[in-house]
């Protein structure tokens, strides 16, 4: 299993092979994004597409972006999806950490469902706050 950063000009080459994963991931944004929105962000913003693959198929993906705050810089993992994350996540996390370090990031950050806690715990996960969504009536 390998992980690689997909150059922006090659995103369309892999898109059909990861679209099902992206669609499933978009479902958990609860109406905030569609798969097409995620593709548009990859093509028009300074976002990065990473894929985890072997000789047969692409098993998963990450979408990252550098977030610059007044006092620090973070590599934000906007979207993560695929199948068998426990396998490809372990292979993929070190290249993401290296990329973040090369870009001068102080931390990596992500938002997600509570179940991600168990996935990130082995990497020094530190819960900082809970994201709440309230209806407007």
Pick the CATH number of 2-123 from 3.40.50.300, 2.60.40.1760, 3.40.630.30, 3.40.50.720: 3.40.630.30
Average pLDDT, the chain: 89
Residue 30 has, within 13 A of its CA and on its CB side, a CA count of 6
Q: Which of these, 59, 60, 19, lies nearest to 39 by C-alpha position?
A: 19
Tell which wins on pLDDT, 125 or 89.
89
Domain boundaries, the chain: 2-123
Look at residue 92 in the predicted model and tell me its pLDDT.
87
**Entry pTM:** 0.86
Look at residue 111 in the predicted model and tell me its pLDDT.
79
Which of 19-28, 58-67, 117-126 has the least mean pLDDT?
A: 117-126
Look at residue 93 in the predicted model and tell me its pLDDT.
86
């Amino acid at each position: 299993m390998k992980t690689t950063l997909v150059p922006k000009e090659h995103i369309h080459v892999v898109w059909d092979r990861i679209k099902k994963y992206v669609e499933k991931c978009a479902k958990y944004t609860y109406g905030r994004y569609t798969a097409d929105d995620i593709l548009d962000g990859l093509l028009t913003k300074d976002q990065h597409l990473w894929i985890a693959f072997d000789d047969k198929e692409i098993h998963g993906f990450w979408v990252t972006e550098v977030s610059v705050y007044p006092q620090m810089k973070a590599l934000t993992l906007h979207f993560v999806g695929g199948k068998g994350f426990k396998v490809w996540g372990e292979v993929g996390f070190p290249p993401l950490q290296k990329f973040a370090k090369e870009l001068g990031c102080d931390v990596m950050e992500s938002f997600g469902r509570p179940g991600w806690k168990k996935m990130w715990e082995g990497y020094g996960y530190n819960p900082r706050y809970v994201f709440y969504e309230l209806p407007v009536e």
